């Protein structure tokens, strides 16, 4: 979008809402392994906060969150999730079995932290992918 | 279980679905579809599926509306049929 309407209300409300949405998204992601929510829902909320910035601030938001950042974050999340899954295969377990040989941690604690980091990486993946979809739609598919 | 709340949520849900299909203005159709998704999230939460309700509220009532509005920028507001 090339033009935008100057609206003080839209700008102030967006600036007030974005941090609250992001804090709630981090809560949903980090509590995803034992309460409703998880990486996907929290990642959607993070993407929604960035898209609210995109809609309300227009071209200014590309200075805060550049156009290339979305696909980079999605790639990081996917790669880290795949590495986390394959890491337990190096120790003789199945994909995403969290059968790591970390000294001083029982199997239950390993599974707890394994699911926690899987949720965090899924959150990165969904966040970056949805912002990248928005950016591709906004330009009509051409750079 | 509150059967009256279930009943009226279902009735409004069906009305919103028919309205989203029948309305001529595509911008209004996107708004009605977003309201449909929000009522769907309420119904999911009431049926004891908070995980699905959270997904529906974030995706259906949030991002899908934005993506459809963005598509309307390119295709225009008037319905063809």
Closest CA to B81 of B15, B19, B24, B18: B24
> For position A59, what pLDDT does the model report?
79
The Cα B81–Cα B75 span in angstroms is 14
Region B45-61: mean pLDDT is 90
> For position A22, what pLDDT does the model report?
95
Which A residues in the span 40-79 are in contact with B, Cβ-Cβ below 8 Å? 40-41, 44-45, 47-48, 51, 55
**Of the ranges A4-8, A17-21, B22-26, which is most confident?**
A17-21
> For position A8, what pLDDT does the model report?
84
> For position A93, what pLDDT does the model report?
79
Chain A positions touching B54 (Cβ under 8 A) are 28, 36-37, 41
H or E segment to which residue B41 belongs: helix B26-46
Tens digits of residue pLDDT in A62-105 = 888 898 899 999 999 999 999 988 888 888 778 888 776 666 77
Task: Work out whether the CA dihedral A42, A48, A51, A53 comes out positive or negative.
Answer: negative
Interface pTM (ipTM) of the complex?
Answer: 0.82
H or E segment to which residue A131 belongs: helix A107-138
Residues 6+ away with beta carbon under 8 Å from A99: A88, A91, A92, A93, A110
> For position A101, what pLDDT does the model report?
64
**Beta-bridge mates of residue B25:** B78
What confidence tier does A40 reach under pLDDT thresholds 50, 70, 90?
Answer: very high
Residue boundaries of the structural domains of chain A: 8-138
Mean pLDDT of chain B: 89
What confidence tier does A29 reach under pLDDT thresholds 50, 70, 90?
Answer: very high
Token digits of residue A28: 């949903």
What confidence tier does A2 reach under pLDDT thresholds 50, 70, 90?
Answer: very low
Per the listing, tokens 């929510």 go with A37
Chain B positions touching A36 (Cβ under 8 A) are 50-51, 53-54
The Cα B38–Cα A120 span in angstroms is 26
Mean pLDDT of chain A: 86
Using alpha carbons, list the distances in angstroms from residue A105 to A7, A100, A111, B61, B70.
Answer: 54, 10, 10, 42, 49
Per the listing, tokens 């225009």 go with B76
Region A14-36: mean pLDDT is 91
């Amino acid at each position: 979008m090339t033009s935008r309407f100057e609206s003080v209300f839209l700008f102030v409300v967006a600036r007030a809402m974005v941090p609250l949405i992001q804090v709630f998204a981090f809560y949903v992601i980090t509590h995803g392994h034992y309460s409703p929510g998880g990486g996907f829902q929290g990642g959607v909320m993070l993407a929604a906060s960035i898209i609210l910035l995109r809609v309300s601030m227009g071209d200014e938001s590309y200075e805060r969150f550049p156009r290339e950042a979305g696909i980079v974050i999605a790639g990081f999340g996917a790669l880290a999730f795949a590495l986390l899954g394959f890491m337990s295969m190096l120790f003789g377990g199945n994909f995403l079995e969290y059968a790591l040989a970390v000294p001083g941690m029982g199997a239950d604690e390993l599974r707890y932290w394994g699911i926690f980091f899987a949720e965090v990486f899924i959150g990165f993946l969904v966040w970056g992918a949805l912002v990248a979809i928005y950016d591709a739609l906004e330009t009509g598919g051409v750079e | 279980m509150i059967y009256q709340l279930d009943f009226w949520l279902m009735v409004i849900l069906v009305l919103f679905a028919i309205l989203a299909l029948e309305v001529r203005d595509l911008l209004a159709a996107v708004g009605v579809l977003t309201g449909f998704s929000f009522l769907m999230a309420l119904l999911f939460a009431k049926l004891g599926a908070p995980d699905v309700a959270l997904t529906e509220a974030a995706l259906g009532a949030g991002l899908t509306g934005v993506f459809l509005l963005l598509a309307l920028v390119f295709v225009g507001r008037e319905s063809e049929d």
